[in-house]
Amino acid sequence: MADIVSELMGALGRDKVSADPNVLRLYSAEPEGLSGPVEAVVFPESPEDVSSLASLAYRLEFPIYPQGSASSLSGNAVPTRKGVVVSFERMNRVKEVSLVDSVAVVEPGVRIEELNVQLAEAGYMFPVDPASQSVATVGGAIANGAGGMRGAKYGTMRDWVNGLEVVLVDDQGTRLRLGCRTVKCRQGYDLVRLMVGSEGTLALVTEATLRITPLPETVVTALAFFDGLEGLASAYVDLKSRRVQPYIAEFMDAPTVRLASEGLDLPFEARGDMFLVSLESTPESAERHAKFLEELMRSHGAREVRVTADPLEAEELFRLRRNLFPAQISMFRRPGRPLLLLIEDIVVPPSRVPEAVRALRALDSKYGITSSLGGHIGDGNLHPAIGFDPTDPESTRVAAAWFNDVVQVALSLGGAVSAEHGIGLLKREALAKALGERQIEVMRAIKAVFDPKGLLNPGKLF
């Protein structure tokens, strides 16, 4: 591998390649605890650098693992055999924003939060907002097909990418422009949609043309606490049955709420199962929408309801939800014992959410465990989670059985095994179960066309 490092430095420059053990360790792992072998990390600064890397990888046949910020939760960016991590953190420019065309042209290393700070100055936003948006990059979000809290109204990455520039791993490091700048674009197969959610297994993204949209004029937010998830779920079903499309609709169960609230110094008592809903509104309609939300919540048994149209007050309400992931870590950590956090990412039709909640709660009884439950109830995307000790065979067995049962809950209710976290390493068997052998064969054939030597993020998806 030393020869490959030398070749990389010769092709890209010594300042763009690292084989320092501390750097390799940093880029070898993801938040859920998975890690893999890394021999070098490359930091391209241009599409030309990426093209040089791709052609070199093709010639010398070493695997490439694309990374944004490595914040995925399914092992999507973890190396599976010795190879090169390509970090896009230096390709972080917002190249253009056009309000007339409603697009932003960006490099893959741009962080979503930073993009939205810039867009907000013009009264616009990029609506896909994963919980990790402060670190999540556009390239990583494209690879994962990411979603977020606004998914109930605005969908996921696949709905907001008009065009891509990508590099193929072939002898030339071929650069392709896919899709268009325009919303309407029908020119053969939709290769942009094929790339979104491909988890870095088909090509390397070097530029994205994203759709942007005006910020809502006013947002009314309600935070309610219930003495049970059933009442919370029924409140959401009632909301949707009244022809209301939430801007945001989130939930967390009571044990997770308790831990998420610790140390936040909130201006209210956070106790019970949490339902957080936002509606787009106008200054003239805000009071009516606020009254509607409070009455709806209380009609389904909410103990406490907080409603506001003030952005600063709303931010206080959202702090609780944004602390979901740290709360889940706290919930399962045991002093002196290793922890792997298993965060599921199933999705069911919103009408089946109450059934899904009942089925997931039954798994706690079945396995004698206490899980954490939260997620994006607005689009049926649920994030049940447990922690387990990977050095304990029984703990590992229970976690694997629970994981498989959660997948079955989703499939039995007409849902999917992943909504936004992707397949990565953790859900390959679940994907095969959901799709069947023939669909997996088709996917393998597609990968072979784009990546004939199987060098791009090997071991992921299937």
Predicted confidence (pLDDT) per residue in 39-58, tens digit = 999 999 999 999 999 999 99
What is the mean pLDDT of the segment spanning 170-191? 96
Q: Does domain 94-214 have CATH number 3.30.465.10?
A: yes
Give yes or no for residue 32 having a pLDDT over 70. no
Residues of each domain in the chain carrying CATH 3.30.70.2190: 218-325
Give Cβ neighbours of residue 163 (< 8 Å, ≥ 6 apart).
177, 178, 179, 180, 181, 185, 192, 208, 209
The whole-angstrom separation of Cα 77 and Cα 100 is: 36
Residues of each domain in the chain carrying CATH 3.30.70.2740: 331-427
Q: Global pTM?
A: 0.92
The whole-angstrom separation of Cα 384 and Cα 30 is: 19
pLDDT at 1: 54
Q: How confident is the model at residue 135 (pLDDT cuts 50, 70, 90)?
A: confident
CATH hierarchy code of domain 2-89: 3.30.43.10
Give yes or no for residue 377 having a pLDDT over 90. yes
Give yes or no for residue 264 having a pLDDT over 90. no
Instruction: State how far the alpha carbon of 23 is from the alpha carbons of 18, 39, 185, 333, in Å.
Output: 7, 10, 42, 27
Longest dimension (CA), the chain: 69
The whole-angstrom separation of Cα 346 and Cα 343 is: 10
Residues of each domain in the chain carrying CATH 3.30.465.10: 94-214
In this structure, are residues 286 and 331 in contact, taking their beta carbons and an 8 Å threshold?
A: no
pLDDT at 2: 58
Considering only 28-37, 99-108, 394-403, 432-441, which range has the smallest mean pLDDT? 28-37
Instruction: State how far the alpha carbon of 66 is from the alpha carbons of 18, 43, 108, 268, in Å.
Output: 15, 10, 11, 43
The total of other beta-carbon atoms located within 10 Å of residue 195's CB is: 25
What is the mean pLDDT of the segment spanning 62-77? 90
Angle at CA of residue 209, ends 87 and 90, nearest 5°: 25
**Pair of tokens at residue 379:** 């689009």
What is the mean pLDDT of the segment spanning 152-172? 97
Residue type for position 72: S
Report the mean per-residue pLDDT for the chain. 94
Residue with tokens 């009884």: 365
pLDDT at 356: 94
Residues of each domain in the chain carrying CATH 3.30.43.10: 2-89
pLDDT at 36: 87
The whole-angstrom separation of Cα 27 and Cα 77 is: 9
What is the mean pLDDT of the segment spanning 407-429? 95
Q: Could you name the CATH architecture of 218-325?
A: 2-Layer Sandwich (3.30)
Q: Which fold has domain 331-427?
A: Alpha-Beta Plaits (3.30.70)
**Pair of tokens at residue 10:** 């010769």
Q: How confident is the model at residue 330 (pLDDT cuts 50, 70, 90)?
A: confident
Q: How confident is the model at residue 389 (pLDDT cuts 50, 70, 90)?
A: very high
What letter would DSSP give residue 285? Answer: T
Partners of 105 in beta bridges: 96, 209
Give yes or no for residue 206 having a pLDDT over 80. yes
